[in-house]
Structure 1
C-alpha cells in the first residue's frame, strides 16, 4: 500500500504515530511538506519563549488515548516551566514542536524497521486526481507521484484581514512567529492588536517580555477575553459523555441543544452545583467589565467547582460528535454565541492571565470593545468613529475554523474538480472517495470551535484504522475509556 500525506504538522504527526502502532502490511509512505520546519506546522515553529502552549500536558498528547505521552517526553524539563497556579508545566511552543518532531521521527523509524519505504518530498502538492485504483499527484516543480491513499494534513486557514489593511506600513497581518514580527517594533510605539482571543494574549505577553513600554490596546467587537484555565481536578464527566449522547440519539432519533444542556445540568446537580448560577456567570462575560472578570477568574484557578472544567473538556471530546446530531436551528443558536463559546472552551493559562492583569492594572494595556473599523492614513492607524491613533496594528484574528489554507488552495481545487471532494455546507472539506482522508481542522462538518490536539489525534487514529483495513469510510461512533478512565468519543464520518 502506498500512502501520500500532504502536510507535516500536528495532524501528520498524529497520523504517523497511529500508523506506526497499527499498520501491518509494509508499503511506501511519502510526506509532502515545503516548510523547513517539519512536524511543527504554523503554531509550533521556532519562536519567542514567551509564546507558550495554551493547555496543560494531559490535553496536549498527540498519541491517541495516551494522556501521559507528552508529559513523559517532557520529563524533568517541565520543572523549569511550571505554572505555579496551574501546578502543571507550560512550555514554550517551540519546545512542544520538538516533542512533535521526536514523535514523528520515532514513528518513521518504527515504520522503516517494519519494512516501510519512507521519503520526504520538500515540494508543495498543487494537483491530485484519481487514477485507476489510486491517485496521481503533481508538485509545484512539475514532478508526478502515485499513491493508493491520500491524506490531507494541511493545517488551518490563513488569518483574514478584517479591515483591509494589507500592504499598509506598520500592519502585521500574521503575527507568527512573534520573534520576527515584534523585532522591528519600537519599544515606545502605540500598538493596536485586532482581537481579544488567545492570539491577542500571545502578542501582548510577548510585547511585555520584549520590554515594550508603549501603550497596547486590544481592539475587539466583543471585548471578551478568554477564560482562565483552572487547576485540574480528578472529576470525570458521568452525564456529558459520548455514551449518553449516543443513547439519546438512539432513543429519540435526534439530539437537541436542550438535551445537551440537560446533561450538563445533571452533571452539576450531582456535584451539588447550581446550573443557573453557572450559566448566568458564563453569559455575564458579554457585559461584565473584562478587567474585573479577569481578576475574578484568576482568583478562581483553585476553585473546586467543576462547571467550567466539564464544559472545557467536553466541548472538545463530546462536542464534535454531538454537533453532527443537532437539528436546525440549534447550530445557528450556538453560532450566535461564538465569541463566548470560544472564550470558555479555549482558555488562557494562568501565567499569561497574570501578565495581562498586571498590564491592565498599570494602564499600559486597554480593551476597546465595539470596534467597527480601522483605517491607515498619514503613516498611522485610526479608529472609525472613535478616538485612537496607533503606530502599529497587529492582526490577531484567527482563521475561521475549517477554512482552506491558502497554500492548499490549488490542491483542494483540483480535488473538487476531480469530484473526489466537496465543500461542506458548514465549512471544511468533505471527501467523496474512501481513498481520501482529511485529518485536522480542514475536515468538514465539525463545530465552530477550532480543532484541539485531542480532536486532531482522534481524527488521525480514525484515518489510520481506515488505512489499515482499507475499508470505505463509514458513519458511527465508538466510545472507549482511556488510561485515566475518561470516556472518549470517536466519530467516523464520510469526510475522513
Structure 2
C-alpha cells in the first residue's frame, strides 16, 4: 500500500465537491451537478484516461453490447428516450453502420458498450457547457484515491501520485470491485494463463483448439464467450458456477399491470417472490411472456428491500438470489444466441461446481480444483487459460484496494446490510463505524447495494445521481446547519 502523506491543508488543491471514481456513476453525478443553478467546482478523481467509461464502457469490440436495449438505458432520468434519440442522430450521421443488420426499431437495439461510453461522454460535455454559463467547472484528476480524512469543515484526500485535495463534500462513486474470493490476474500461479473477459487481443494468442476454463456463469461469462469467439477460439470452453445457471435472454415483452403500485400489502421479499410467480403464471396462461410481470418490479425493488428486515434479506439472498440474477439480469439476444449455439454444439459446457482454489505447479496453462454439486470429493480440471467471470465483490472488507481499507481502518464507513456495500442513509450519506451519519461523505451506485439491492444498472445510477446532486447543492448552501437525522437502512 502507498504510504499516506500528511501535511497542512493549505498545500491541497481545493474544490467544492470531490467525486471519487469517474466511471458511469461519477460522470453522471458530475453532469447533474453542472446542470443545476449556481456556481461550483468539482474534481473527479479517476485513474483511467477518460471519464464516463469505467471498465464496462471501455470495451472496443462491437460484440460487447449493453445488456438492455436503448429504451432502457437512458442516462437522463427525466427522458427515457434520451439514448434512443442520441442513437437516432448518431446512426443518421453515419455512425454505427452495423446497426443496419438488425431489423428492429432503434429503441430495441442493443448498442455496443464502447458506443454507450461515447454517449455518456457527450452528455457530460454538454453538461460542462451548461455549467460554464454559471461558472461551474469539472476537472479530471487522473490518479487513485488512497486515503480520506474528514472533519466538521472539509474532506481531505490523498492520491496515489502524492497530491492532496480538499473539498466541502466527497462522494464515493467507486463503481464495482472484482470478486475477492476467486483468483485475479495478479494471483500467484496464474500469470499469463489469466485472461481478462474482454481482452480479445490476448485471447488471439491462445491455441485456437485449447481448453479455456471460466469461473462464473453470469453476464460476464457471456461477454467472455463473445470475446473468445471473436478471437477465433474454437476449442472447448468449460464453465463452472455454484448453481450452473445461465442468464435468460432479454426479450421485448408487452406492458403488464404494475401490481406492486396497486397492492401495498406486499412488503417483504418473500411476499414479492410469491406474488411475482403468480403473475408470471398468469401471463403464461394468457400467452404473454413471463418477463412482462418481472419488468414491472424494478421500480419497487429498492423500497421493498430497504424496508425488509435483515432476516428477510438473508433468506432472499440464500434462497432466491441465484434465480433472481439469472431471470432479472438477462443477456442480449445476439450474445445469448451464441452461447446457446456453442452449448448445443458441445463446445461450451456449464457445470454446477464450486471453485476451491488454484493448483500449483502448472508450467503451461492452469489447473483449478473444483467440487461438483452433489459430490463430496474435489477434482482437478486443467486448461490453457482461466477467465474469472465470478462477478462483483460487494463486501468492502475483502476489497484489496487502499481506499476501502483506509476508510474501514479510520472508522469512516461500516459494512452495509449483509455486508453488501457500505451502510448509508436514504440520501446517500455514509454511516460511520458507530452508525453516525456523515455530514460530508456520501456514496452512490454499487457501494449502496445493501441499501437498495439493485444499485448498479444505468437507470438506478441515473436516479441516484439526480437526487444526490440536489442534496449536495442544498447542503452546500447551508454549511453551518447540522444535517437532520435521516432514515437508516
User: Does the pair score TM above 0.5?
Assistant: yes
Q: Label 1:386 to 1:124 Cα distance change in 2 as closer, same or farther (>3 A).
A: closer
Report deviation, 1:16. Answer: 2.1
Greater Cα shift, 327-336 or 198-207: 327-336
Q: Label 1:259 to 1:357 Cα distance change in 2 as closer, same or farther (>3 A).
A: closer
Residues 1:451 and 2:456 are matched in the alignment = yes
Within-5 A mapping of 1:402-481: 403=396, 406=399, 409-426=401-418, 427-430=420-423, 431=430, 432-443=437-448, 445-446=450-451, 451-470=456-475, 472=483, 475=486
Aligned to 2:331: 348
Structure 1 counterpart of 2:227, from 206, 212, 217: 206
> Is there any run of 5+ residues in structure 2 with no aligned partner, and where?
1-14, 371-377, 424-429, 431-436
- Answer yes or no: is the 8 Å Cα contact 1:404–1:428 preserved in 2: no
Residues 1:80 and 2:90 are matched in the alignment = no
Q: Distance in 2 between matches of 1:188 and 1:148?
A: 56
Greater Cα shift, 369-378 or 425-434: 369-378
Aligned to 2:292: 309
- Answer yes or no: is the 8 Å Cα contact 2:444–2:461 preserved in 1: yes
Q: Distance in 2 between matches of 1:108 and 1:438?
A: 22
Structure 2 counterpart of 1:15, from 25, 29, 46: 29
- Answer yes or no: is the 8 Å Cα contact 1:317–1:455 preserved in 2: no
- Answer yes or no: is the 8 Å Cα contact 1:37–1:45 preserved in 2: no
Q: Distance in 2 between matches of 1:143 and 1:102?
A: 28
CA RMSD of superposed structures (Å): 3.0
Residues 1:54 and 2:67 are matched in the alignment = yes
**TM-score w.r.t. length of structure 2:** 0.80
Report deviation, 1:304. Answer: 5.5
Deviations 1:233-267 (A, max 9, x none): 2x1542123x75xx448xxxxx2234324653675
Aligned to 1:108: 128
- Answer yes or no: is the 8 Å Cα contact 2:42–2:137 preserved in 1: yes
Q: Distance in 2 between matches of 1:15 and 1:97?
A: 15
Report deviation, 1:47. Answer: 2.7
Q: Distance in 2 between matches of 1:164 and 1:450?
A: 24
Q: Label 1:462 to 1:304 Cα distance change in 2 as closer, same or farther (>3 A).
A: farther
Q: Label 1:396 to 1:164 Cα distance change in 2 as closer, same or farther (>3 A).
A: closer
Structure 1 counterpart of 2:49, from 23, 36, 42: 36
Aligned to 2:271: 259
Deviations 1:51-110 (A, max 9, x none): 111111122111113211111111124673368597621122111111111122222222
- Answer yes or no: is the 8 Å Cα contact 1:13–1:62 preserved in 2: no
> Is there any run of 5+ residues in structure 1 with no aligned partner, and where?
250-254, 278-302, 476-492
Tell me the number of residue pairs that the alignment of Structure 1 and Structure 2 aligns.
437
Deviations 1:21-57 (A, max 9, x none): 3x22202111111211321011111432221111111
Q: Distance in 1 between matches of 2:175 and 2:219?
A: 18
RCO higher in structure (CA 8 A, sep ≥6): 1
Q: Label 1:171 to 1:239 Cα distance change in 2 as closer, same or farther (>3 A).
A: farther
Local SS of the residue matching 1:423 = coil
- Answer yes or no: is the 8 Å Cα contact 2:63–2:226 preserved in 1: yes
- Answer yes or no: is the 8 Å Cα contact 1:44–1:97 preserved in 2: yes
Aligned to 1:6: 20
Q: Distance in 1 between matches of 2:69 and 2:85?
A: 13
Aligned to 1:390: 383
**TM-score w.r.t. length of structure 1:** 0.79
Report deviation, 1:339. Answer: 1.4
Q: Distance in 2 between matches of 1:449 and 1:117?
A: 31
Deviations 1:187-206 (A, max 9, x none): 12111111111111111122
Local SS of the residue matching 2:258 = coil
Q: Distance in 2 between matches of 1:454 and 1:106?
A: 20
Q: Label 1:364 to 1:265 Cα distance change in 2 as closer, same or farther (>3 A).
A: closer
Greater Cα shift, 418-427 or 198-207: 418-427
